[in-house]
Each structure stands twice: as structure tokens, then as C-alpha cells.
Amino acid sequence: MTNKILITVLVPMIEEQYDIYIPVSKSIKVTANLLIKTINELSEGHFPIKEKCTLLSSTGIVFNEGSNIKECGIKNGDKIILI
């Protein structure tokens, strides 16, 4: 079993999407913080570093910050939204 999965992160604020590997054992909160920093770098600063962002499924369901990626059912190839 691998400890990372490849997802597509949709970022409406900058109208971009990124394919990023994330760890399956980390919480949604930790993963959101990692994604904020990663997308800030990939977008060359167009996506500002924020204290808090929300991760949603492609259907609009908000993920619980205390749950980990695996518990939320996020799998390879899934699309999530970062707002």
C-alpha cells in the first residue's frame, strides 16, 4: 500500500488546477496547509498563503478537518476544491 495518492486540486480563486500527491495518513487540516504552501509556490505567489482554507469534494461536500484523507474516502484521481 502506498502512502501518497495523486489528486487534482481545483483552485477557483486563481482559476487553476494542479495535480498533486498528498499523504493519505495526514488530517484534512494538515493537508490543506500543505496544499496552500504548494499552490502558492506553483502559482508563483498568485494564490496567497492563508491561515485557513477549506477542502471540498467535487460535489461540494466539506471535508471534516479532523479526519484523515483515507477516512474521507479520497482516492487516486479524485478532484477536490480548495477555497
The domains located in the chain, with CATH, are 4-82 (3.10.20.90)
* pTM of structure: 0.90
pLDDT top residue among 1 and 63? 63
Residues near 79 by Cβ (< 8 Å), separated by ≥ 6? 7, 8, 9, 10, 17, 58
CA distances from 57 to 1, 7, 83 (A): 23, 11, 11
The answer to whether residue 2 scores a pLDDT higher than 80 is no
Which pLDDT belongs to residue 1? Answer: 46
pLDDT tens figures, 6-55: 999 999 999 999 999 999 999 999 999 999 999 999 999 999 998 889 99
